[in-house]
Structure 1
């Protein structure tokens, strides 16, 4: 049953040291504000799952929150590498990062299997690729009906799923519109859920054809955080801040500039800062 609460209270209740945490969103509706609150609360030894780790995971890794990353692609979209991720893998700073790499298809299937309560995902994949040589969790099985060789990996069953959406009503029903990734599957696969939204409304509006509604009984915590996806975009609210993605390359390249930016913009500020950024960008 969804509880409407503050961001600090939701993260404190849902995210614990050592948890497996999935912050999902695909280009659109990436839960930056929630990730920053996890950093502010000093969570450690997390395993992070994400199909496309980008800026928020770079920040969480660089702040020492993460021991392990399960992913299918990592980078600053349209710009280049994630420098804090690379520093953790190559130099062990601020701590060594263990990697478990998959394909996009595998990650999506693993979330879907987790949402269905299954122990593993079975699909056509990894034929002729090199990932099975570096990831021992990629197995192959024979279909008992056709004899076809299929790939199998463990399902994703995170302790916590964190997503951002446009709206929720006062009962905690959540509506997501626009470009969708695996947010629905991540929420249904997780033990606990934190959903930040642009606004809480009395009644959900008429939905578009591709909209997803997560019923209140599938969500643990709902939090109103205007601008909570910034610098990614929220359809109908604000566009993607492309200039910030470019600036992040310079900010994160060196440890000192990264730490200074995080102190000024995350550690010393709360989620209300995101509303200010988003309003400025929307003008």
Structure 2
């Protein structure tokens, strides 16, 4: 069976994102799937219900491009840079037309994804007590608590037609690894009918297996994997490139002016063939200025099952001594005893793997 899910981003969007869909683009602070949002714009997909915690610049762009008819979001802001002026025009002045909005808190959005992933009918939440948000969102309901006789707010499940996330790496099957701030990507993927994972690089399965705890998105939940280096710009990818803070500041005057915003979309998105061409228009020197230095994480020893002569040695207490020797430094031995995750195994005389 062919388990290779790597496809071009344009092919993945065409196959899995359709006009009228409910689409979640998640990634918190970093790993925001901007390249995927731009490709939705290029393909002229419309009438989307756009779901996202902190909708930020990608929401402003997709809304201005005519892709979005409804927002399901929390905390409307462009990171630390200010307002989303396309969103404000729609909400405050109905310019060029009104925008339907379903607003929640961050915590409520997380719980909605949790409920969606677990296929639950609702999720209780206490933090809306004293808040004005339930008065503007009828989907937040106050119900009787069957255990205490009191009341609690509940929120409905969120089940997108498709969730799109960005990650540092994946194998060709779709096992995707994330480190740094993780946000709600895992829940949003499990809650969706389809999932697209955009990554900085494809790595060998051995790399994924060497550090399994970083695999937040397993292959069985993924429909397509797309390799798009620097595809989260202007947000950052922990360990790959920094946040383009200047871009966020530059966005304010762009989004304030509807004509300038449309010109920006034409120059950087609609008239570019793909993300690589977007980066060319943006300026490769700009991306070079966002480079980060190396700072590897510490390694851990996951351990492995002992076989053959190793097991006999362990019963005699020799294996523990060998592990202590490993920790102190390298030693000349004919049989390997394991080490840091990812270290190739050696073969023992009885055919077992060390």
Aligned-pair CA distance for 1:274: 4.1
Q: Given the two structures, how large is their TM-score scaled by the length of structure 2?
A: 0.76
- Asked if residue 166 in structure 1 is aligned to residue 168 in structure 2, the reply is yes
Aligned-pair CA distance for 1:50: 0.8
Counterpart for residue 215 of structure 1? 218
Counterpart for residue 233 of structure 2? 230
Counterpart for residue 186 of structure 1? 188
Counterpart for residue 130 of structure 1? 132
Counterpart for residue 6 of structure 2? 4
String of CA shifts for 1:16-73, please: whole Å, max 9, x gaps: 0000000001111000000000000011110011111100011001111111101111
Structure 1: any 5+ residue segments left out of the alignment? none
Aligned-pair CA distance for 1:120: 1.5
Aligned-pair CA distance for 1:170: 1.8
String of CA shifts for 1:211-244, please: whole Å, max 9, x gaps: 3431111011110000010110001100001000
Alignment of 1:1-283 (within 5 A): 3-203=5-205, 204-205=207-208, 206-207=210-211, 211-269=214-272, 270-272=274-276, 273-274=278-279, 276=284, 278-282=287-291
Aligned-pair CA distance for 1:147: 2.1
Distance 2:85 2:32 in 1: 19
String of CA shifts for 1:167-187, please: whole Å, max 9, x gaps: 001222111111111000000
- Supply the RMSD in Å over aligned alpha carbons: 1.7
Mapped contact 2:163–2:194 kept (Cα < 8 A): yes
Mapped contact 1:137–1:154 kept (Cα < 8 A): yes
Mapped contact 1:64–1:95 kept (Cα < 8 A): no
Aligned-pair CA distance for 1:94: 4.3
Structure 2: any 5+ residue segments left out of the alignment? 293-354
Q: How many residues align?
A: 282
Distance 2:288 2:168 in 1: 15
Structure 1 or 2, whichever has the larger Rg, is 2
Mapped contact 1:184–1:212 kept (Cα < 8 A): no
SS of match in other structure, 2:231: coil
Aligned-pair CA distance for 1:122: 1.5
Distance 2:96 2:10 in 1: 24
Aligned-pair CA distance for 1:105: 1.1
Distance 1:103 1:46 in 2: 21
Aligned-pair CA distance for 1:125: 2.3
Mapped contact 2:4–2:172 kept (Cα < 8 A): no
Aligned-pair CA distance for 1:123: 2.0
Q: Which has the higher contact order (CA 8 A, sep 6+)?
A: 1
Distance 1:4 1:120 in 2: 35
Distance 2:212 2:253 in 1: 39
Aligned-pair CA distance for 1:88: 1.9
Aligned-pair CA distance for 1:113: 0.7
The structure richer in strand per residue is 1
